[in-house]
Structure 1
């Protein structure tokens, strides 16, 4: 991942919990939360949220917001303790990472909250790690901060890959190739 020595997971978890309290206590947090959850009409990813068993936007978006905030806080904690952006890209599960994208889509609100609360938002797609595994570094830091992560959302990489293979076969069967990244459908004029 990086040459930077990572701080202990316990130290990261404690700092992440503090960061999350500050974020949720910010005066603009209610607006940020509302805007992030409203973004739901654009959540049309074929390979992120749908890896959640019996995925339902209406019932899952609130709990996923919580998990996305925790992920952002974990990454910010690693950065605060190391100053290393690459090290801060800790392993996340695909559905939780997808939720962080919905949060980042509220740039003005999130930037103001970050400035007031003193955390640095870390996310760069080409450096992110969606190879989360229970028992790993991210899991240990999460345990310190908030207890056991909900396995509904914190899926191990091997399980995500298994579910994505199921989706790929289903998507291919209806002409949505490369898991929805291309198709050959022509739209005739009405």
Structure 2
């Protein structure tokens, strides 16, 4: 297989299922899961998780953790089958990509699991693709491995952008500009006025 050609979705699905099984069976998986979910109090991105309809951290963190694991397994499978890190950066839905960041924030645990199970952790923020679509390679491989991707989390790119536009307008209405990337709140003034 050429290093510049994606594997078949079926091949990626088969290997991703094996990788995920091995990761879940690892002796430190429970600690990794607990650490990632504990980190959930820091899962604050204005345009990542909030694109999920009626987003609720307590209700959504475990299902998102599952989806993040599946995404990482597909990426690892593609890398293993191609040897190409760029090809392995397959399209991932924005909320799922966000939870992979929380997983990667557990570097020691994840690195040890990766070494023991032999999977390659693939994630380059500057090369990631959040242009997920229902018929893309990732969706096809996912369906073959685990069935239909949950639409709550695997949002298509166009829908994500529509929701980001709504969020951006709401944030601006309370003084958070550029989708939460800027504000002009003076905290010292707020302390004196109590507002």
Partner SS state of residue 175, structure 1:
coil
TM-score normalized with structure 1 length: 0.97
Partner of 2:17: 17
CA displacement at 1:187 relative to structure 2: 1.2
Alignment pair present for 1:94 and 2:89:
no
What CA distance in whole angstroms lies between the structure 2 residues aligned with 1:81 and 1:179? 38
What CA distance in whole angstroms lies between the structure 2 residues aligned with 1:30 and 1:122? 21
Partner of 1:85: 85
1:82-123: CA deviations, max 9, x gaps?
010000000000000000000000000000000000000000
What CA distance in whole angstroms lies between the structure 2 residues aligned with 1:71 and 1:139? 10
Partner of 1:33: 33
1:38-73: CA deviations, max 9, x gaps?
001111110000000000000100000000000000
| Unpaired runs of at least 5, structure 2 | none
The alignment yields a C-alpha RMSD, in angstroms, of 0.9
What CA distance in whole angstroms lies between the structure 1 residues aligned with 2:87 and 2:107? 23
Say how many residue pairs are matched. 188
What CA distance in whole angstroms lies between the structure 1 residues aligned with 2:152 and 2:57? 14
| Unpaired runs of at least 5, structure 1 | none
TM-score normalized with structure 2 length: 0.95
Partner SS state of residue 126, structure 2:
helix
What CA distance in whole angstroms lies between the structure 1 residues aligned with 2:168 and 2:45? 13
Please list, as runs of the form range in 1=range in 2, the aligned pairs for 1:55-70 lying within 5 A after superposition: 55-70=55-70
Runs of 4+ that moved beyond 6 A: none
Partner of 1:131: 131
Partner SS state of residue 126, structure 1:
coil
Please list, as runs of the form range in 1=range in 2, the aligned pairs for 1:141-156 lying within 5 A after superposition: 141-156=141-156
CA displacement at 1:136 relative to structure 2: 1.1
What CA distance in whole angstroms lies between the structure 2 residues aligned with 1:97 and 1:144? 20
Please list, as runs of the form range in 1=range in 2, the aligned pairs for 1:98-109 lying within 5 A after superposition: 98-109=98-109
Partner SS state of residue 41, structure 1:
helix
